[in-house]
Structure 1
Amino acid sequence: MGTKLNKGDTSNGVSVLSIVGMGGMGKTTLAQLVYNDATINQSFDLKAWVCVSDNFDAIAITKAILQSITSESCDYSNLDLLQVKLKEKLSGKRFLLVLDDIWNENYNDWTILRSPFGAGTAIIVTTRLQIVSSIVDPLKAFHLDKLSDDDCLSIFTQHALKAINFDGHPHFKEIGEKIIRRCNGLPLAAKAIGSLLRTVKYHREWERIYESEI
């Protein structure tokens, strides 16, 4: 991914990568690994992370980017002025931007938001929607699939038992494997339920969690 971030250009010299998958699949976690990677950081002068969610507000997003790269508060409320300021700050700089959890399917909104960015900018978009990935026209789209039960087991036991499997805790093996199957291949579910059981020492409590609506 680092090579593509450095060398892959789309329109106006902007590189766009999208990470696509259902909720709980690990899109944000993967983006964080890239964002914090030492090699990636050496390739960029500036970087910013914006959680977009379902409120795709170009003014708010642009303002958040500006505040992130300048570490200063920004009182402007005019989009044109904000974009001029952002373009000035990015001039001659290599810039990494993560737009996390985009839902907006409007191509015009995307076009407006990305207008200040030019050569040297790489954008990572995470989204649950394939149509969003198509709209941002990525150089590369990474589609995250569900994990195998074995991979879910590894995540679950690390959080629940501080172990890689049930070998040291055979009395939890049967109920634990049932819980893992209910995680349905979602790493976030395996982590969340494993963390919930971290201090639970009784088999009956594991059964109660398994039988619950969680």
Structure 2
Amino acid sequence: MGGMGKTTLAQLVYNDPSIKESFDHKSWVCVADDFDAVNITQTILRSLDADSRDENDLNLLQVKLKEKLSGKRFLLVLDDIWNESYSDWTILRAPFAAGTKIIVTTRLEKVSSNVDPVKAFYLDKLSHHDCLSIFAQHALKARSFAGHLQFKEIGENIVRRFNGLPLAAKAIGSLLRTVQDHSEWENVYENEI
């Protein structure tokens, strides 16, 4: 499901200080609907060498990538993959050696099984309490409604509508960040969107 926090979790791992110590290089590619091995490989190469020329020959790109990564530890994040083709996945990962670790975010279980994961993590909806905390952080710059009791009841009602989705809590919380009028909070709650 969208909005569960897959990308956010991958970002936390990618930006963790211990990752910098563990890998020689790292690269992030947002894939989405366009699973094109040439474009993905070009993006990875550019992240390793800004001066790399744009080639359209996948074989040449993969040879260059393999040379760049030879003997190096490499972390690759492929965010938001929708392509379920095992053969496409096999072609894309051809230049990566044993020192490469790949994190994939996807909504599709078949994509996860094609990647042949060492470990798959399935994200679940947040508890009401955790979702309320995220909402409060973004709407009130606070971890809870303790200092903002006038918004507590309407805030809890709004959060129930998020059904545990952290992205909804963040987005609507951010929308209400500068709103101090209780009636505006009620308008958000009553909005069908």
TM over 0.5: yes
Per the alignment, in what secondary structure is the counterpart of residue 141 of structure 1? coil
Query: 2:152 maps to which residue?
Result: 173
Query: 1:205 maps to which residue?
Result: 184
How far has the Cα of 1:70 moved from its partner? 1.0
Identify the match of residue 125 of structure 1 among 104, 111, 131. 104
Per the alignment, in what secondary structure is the counterpart of residue 120 of structure 2? strand
Distance 1:130 1:213 in 2: 31
Task: Give RMSD over aligned pairs.
Answer: 0.9
1:84-95 mapped onto 2 (5 Å cutoff): 84-95=63-74
Query: 1:112 maps to which residue?
Result: 91
Distance 2:143 2:16 in 1: 25
Q: Match for 1:59: what amino acid?
A: V
Gaps of 5+ in 1: 1-21
Distance 2:52 2:71 in 1: 23
How far has the Cα of 1:165 moved from its partner? 1.4
Q: Match for 1:211: what amino acid?
A: E
Q: Match for 1:39: what amino acid?
A: S
1:185-204 mapped onto 2 (5 Å cutoff): 185-204=164-183
The CA deviation string for residues 148-173 of structure 1, in whole angstroms up to 9 with x for no partner, is 00000100011111112112111211
Matched, 1:149 2:128: yes
Gaps of 5+ in 2: none
1:5-24 mapped onto 2 (5 Å cutoff): 22-24=1-3
Matched, 1:96 2:75: yes
Matched, 1:51 2:30: yes
Identify the match of residue 49 of structure 2 among 57, 64, 70. 70
Q: Match for 2:169: what amino acid?
A: A
TM-score, with structure 2 as normaliser: 0.98
Identify the match of residue 140 of structure 1 among 108, 119, 123. 119
Q: What percentage of aligned pairs have identical amino acids?
A: 75
The answer (yes or no) to whether the contact 1:160–1:198 under 8 Å persists in 2 is yes
4+ long deviations beyond 4 Å: none
The CA deviation string for residues 96-139 of structure 1, in whole angstroms up to 9 with x for no partner, is 10000000000000000000011100000000111110111100
How far has the Cα of 1:73 moved from its partner? 4.1
The answer (yes or no) to whether the contact 1:66–1:74 under 8 Å persists in 2 is no
Matched pairs, number: 193
How far has the Cα of 1:74 moved from its partner? 2.5
Per the alignment, in what secondary structure is the counterpart of residue 147 of structure 1? coil
Distance 2:21 2:176 in 1: 39
The answer (yes or no) to whether the contact 1:66–1:86 under 8 Å persists in 2 is yes
